[in-house]
Structure 1
């Protein structure tokens, strides 16, 4: 049901470098009026959601407010192993969700956002 998400950032270059480092993707930065947006790779053609990092005075990073974004990955542990080297913080290591729902982990990105990861193995 999710078609798009936006993650608030304070410094686009720092956030771009962090997310590219932990996910191994290329984020394309563009300006849309007053908004600076770092676009994640487009997955909508494959039936998956996509989104952007957003730098704007109305977007405020938070560890406690707003929705929590879960990024799908092959193995939560592999991504979490890259977080601290990229400037973030691991908040919760790879943890089994139970009842066959896979695994999750939590991190704090370089901007101060709480972000979740999910994998089936």
Structure 2
């Protein structure tokens, strides 16, 4: 594989209640998610631009999708981690690790969503 592209092309966050999860993520990240049904799976897609850098993904509810607090962690970029974490708590999520510096790479923090998944947030600035 060439190093001219990032290797992750898509991510899926398992959920048990697609309506609740979609409302949570739309509020926390202040962006609309687009609903789709693929086979037996209900999905809410994050905004995507196929020509942009980075991976797109979706919330997914289906028989083989089980939320978990441990395992693979994805990081969602945000311009202001502090504001994002405030929105997490306002919507009922739980901050599990507050904002911390990762040096020249910016800042990270972690939260648990309403489904029980641990999600990272990353910012190069604030």
Normalising to structure 2: TM-score of the pair? 0.90
Partner-residue secondary structure (3-state), 1:79: helix
How far 1:33 sits from its partner (Å)?
A: 1.2
Q: Any residues of structure 2 matched to 1:1-121 within 5 Å, and which?
A: 1=6, 2-65=8-71, 67-98=72-103, 100-121=104-125
Q: Deviations over 1:54-97 (max 9, x none)?
A: 001111101112x1000111121111110011121111111111
Q: Offset at 1:118?
A: 0.5
More displaced, 41-50 or 16-25? 41-50
Task: Indicate the RMSD between aligned Cα atoms, in angstroms.
Answer: 1.0
**CA offset at residue 47 of structure 1?**
2.2
Q: Gaps (5+ residues) in structure 2?
A: 1-5
Bigger drift between 34-43 and 4-13 goes to 34-43
Find the residue that maps to 1:84 and give its secondary structure.
Answer: helix
Q: C-alpha distance in 2, partners of 1:43/1:59?
A: 25
Equivalent-residue separation in structure 1 for 2:79 and 2:31 (angstroms):
14
Deviation at 1:40, TM superposition (A): 0.6
Provide the C-alpha distance between the structure 2 equivalents of 1:94 and 1:46, rounded to a whole number of angstroms.
26
In 1, distance between residues paired with 2:69 and 2:97?
13
Unaligned runs of 5+ in 1: none
- Count of aligned pairs: 119
